[in-house]
Amino acid sequence: MSVASLQRAAKESVSGLPREFWWLWTSTLVNRLGAFVATFMALYLTLDRGYSASYAGLVAALHGLGGVVSSLGAGVLTDRIGRRPTLVIAQSATALSVALLGFMKDPVAIAAVAFLVGMASNASRPAVQAMMADIVRPEDRVRAFALNYWAINLGFAFSSMAAGFIAEYSYLVGFLGEAAMTLACAVLIFLKLPESRPARDDSATGTAARAEAVSMGTVVRDGRFMAVVGLSFLIALLFQQAYVSLPVAMGVDGFSSSDFGVAIAVNGVLIVALQIPVTRFIEHRDPRRLLVISSLLAGYGFGLTAFAGSLGVYALTVCIWTLAEIINAPTQTSLVVRLSPLHGRGRYQGMYTLSWAVAALTAPLVGGQVIDRYGAAWLWAGCAVIGTVAALGYWLLMRGLPTEDPKTAAPGPAEKGGSAEKSPEVVA
């Protein structure tokens, strides 16, 4: 491929998206560039503070539990007070709690503040996804979500490398650095992003008014959407094994922590290299087929780990389930938007975020129990079964799904003539 072709492809990948999207994308990148706690919490507690691995696991579980608790509440706030206020509050609270965590000495205090960090850091996700759905045209959403996911992984790749050097110097500097970057993200959102929450029709009565009224009960009673949440939980369980069970299994097989680092680095490198070109290939294709394929790739990618006997084979299995991740992430998030009513996007995104938060809390417990009792081979076989079940579920669930769900047929800002800032639905 010529340089001109590459330039044209890159331009087409980023063209047509509103200015507000790029400010939101930048805030995501800034936020992930400062990531430190999630990567080095276990090492900080065991090496720097001298606590046991069991205590480190408890703190990680409490961090995950905080995310579970905040998912639904953040979704409600996103719909009630708006996307921008929710983001500013969540990011400011994250910055404060992360900085506070760096100064905690008592084990009970560390655990309590880690729970608060989990709550605050997870609270921004429904708002980010709802705002992105508000400001991007339906036909561009898969591409927009893919670009945002790319920013997450690009920022995380750089922050992981930088955090390793920072940790050798001072863990406290790492905590304060993440707090500063997160606070910068909050300031960026406050200064550059207008509110995007769709305006309600206060004069609506009867059926029209009921159509606009969305509660958590509405979400729970939405059978098709809750089925998507359940399938999302299964997929999340698979991907969580990469950071929970895979290092344990490789250790049991005699591989070192650096070997695991090499294998898992393949994931980040592939996402940064392939997310945009793969999205260009899939963005206008049948989402049911994409979700079925990605579920099978995830399930059997992890399933093949049972046969890995060398670092090269482990890296190959990582390639397979990473491709599933690249396909699944933007496609599934776009599907959630399609199934969400216009004035309930925050609540729906909150419920979707909950599926990943619960998986992050459950995966360490399930993976560890299966490996200890039955061996890693049974865990990887179970992953293949879960991937197959998820693929079948998506195939059954999406039969008859319309090209564009009526509940989300309302045009995005760019469809109403001009940029998002000219839309009456975007309130500064």
Q: For residues 186 and 250, state if they share a domain.
A: no
Is residue 33 one of the residues assigned to a domain?
A: yes
Q: For residues 238 and 94, state if they share a domain.
A: no
Is residue 426 one of the residues assigned to a domain?
A: no
The per-residue pLDDT for range 19-33, each reduced to its tens digit, is 999 999 999 888 888
Is residue 423 one of the residues assigned to a domain?
A: no
Q: For residues 108 and 227, state if they share a domain.
A: no
Is residue 316 one of the residues assigned to a domain?
A: yes
Its domain, for residue 85, covers 20-139+159-196
The per-residue pLDDT for range 111-154, each reduced to its tens digit, is 999 999 999 998 998 999 999 989 998 888 888 888 988 888 88
3-class secondary-structure state, position 271: helix
Integer Cα distance of 211 and 220 in angstroms: 16
Confidence bin at 371 (pLDDT 50/70/90):
confident
Task: Quote the radius of gyration of the chain (alpha carbons, Å).
Answer: 21
Min mean pLDDT across 47-51, 223-227, 305-309 is at 47-51
Rounded mean pLDDT, 202-210: 48
Q: For residues 318 and 291, state if they share a domain.
A: yes
pLDDT at 8: 64
Distances (CA, A) of 326 to 159, 287, 337, 349, 397: 20, 13, 18, 20, 21
Confidence bin at 61 (pLDDT 50/70/90):
confident
pLDDT at 212: 55
Integer Cα distance of 273 and 278 in angstroms: 9
Q: For residues 251 and 340, state if they share a domain.
A: yes
Integer Cα distance of 89 and 77 in angstroms: 10
Q: For residues 358 and 255, state if they share a domain.
A: yes
pTM over 0.75: yes
- CB of 409 within 8 A of CB of 342? no
Decide which of 408 and 361 is more confident.
361
Integer Cα distance of 40 and 147 in angstroms: 26
Q: For residues 189 and 234, state if they share a domain.
A: no
pLDDT at 199: 75
- CB atoms under 10 Å from CB of 190, counted, come to 14
Confidence bin at 343 (pLDDT 50/70/90):
confident
The per-residue pLDDT for range 292-302, each reduced to its tens digit, is 999 999 999 99
pLDDT at 401: 66
Min mean pLDDT across 84-98, 150-164, 300-314, 350-364 is at 150-164
Is residue 201 one of the residues assigned to a domain?
A: no
Q: For residues 265 and 304, state if they share a domain.
A: yes
pLDDT at 426: 32
Rounded mean pLDDT, 399-405: 60
**Residues 6+ positions from 37 with CB-CB distance below 8 Å:** 98, 101, 117, 174, 175, 178
Confidence bin at 54 (pLDDT 50/70/90):
confident
pLDDT at 370: 86
Q: For residues 166 and 314, state if they share a domain.
A: no
Is residue 116 one of the residues assigned to a domain?
A: yes
Q: For residues 78 and 184, state if they share a domain.
A: yes
Q: For residues 191 and 326, state if they share a domain.
A: no
The per-residue pLDDT for range 174-189, each reduced to its tens digit, is 889 889 999 999 999 9
Give the CATH number of the domain where residue 189 resides.
1.20.1250.20
Rounded mean pLDDT, 360-365: 82
Confidence bin at 424 (pLDDT 50/70/90):
very low
pLDDT at 288: 86
| Number of domains observed in the structure of the chain | 2
**Residues 6+ positions from 86 with CB-CB distance below 8 Å:** 74, 77, 78, 123, 124, 126, 127, 346
Is residue 421 one of the residues assigned to a domain?
A: no
Min mean pLDDT across 303-312, 326-335, 357-366 is at 357-366
> pLDDT at residue 402 above 70?
no
Q: Across 133-274, where does the E strand assignment appear? A: none
Q: For residues 106 and 228, state if they share a domain.
A: no
> pLDDT at residue 363 above 80?
yes
Decide which of 3 and 130 is more confident.
130
Is residue 73 one of the residues assigned to a domain?
A: yes
pLDDT at 120: 92
Which residues in 322-344 are b (16+ Cβ under 10 Å) and which e?
A: bbbbbbbbbbbbbbbbbbbbbbb
Which residue in the block uniquely carries the two structure tokens 């004035």?
343
Look over the chain and give the mean of its residue pLDDT values, rounded to a whole number. 83
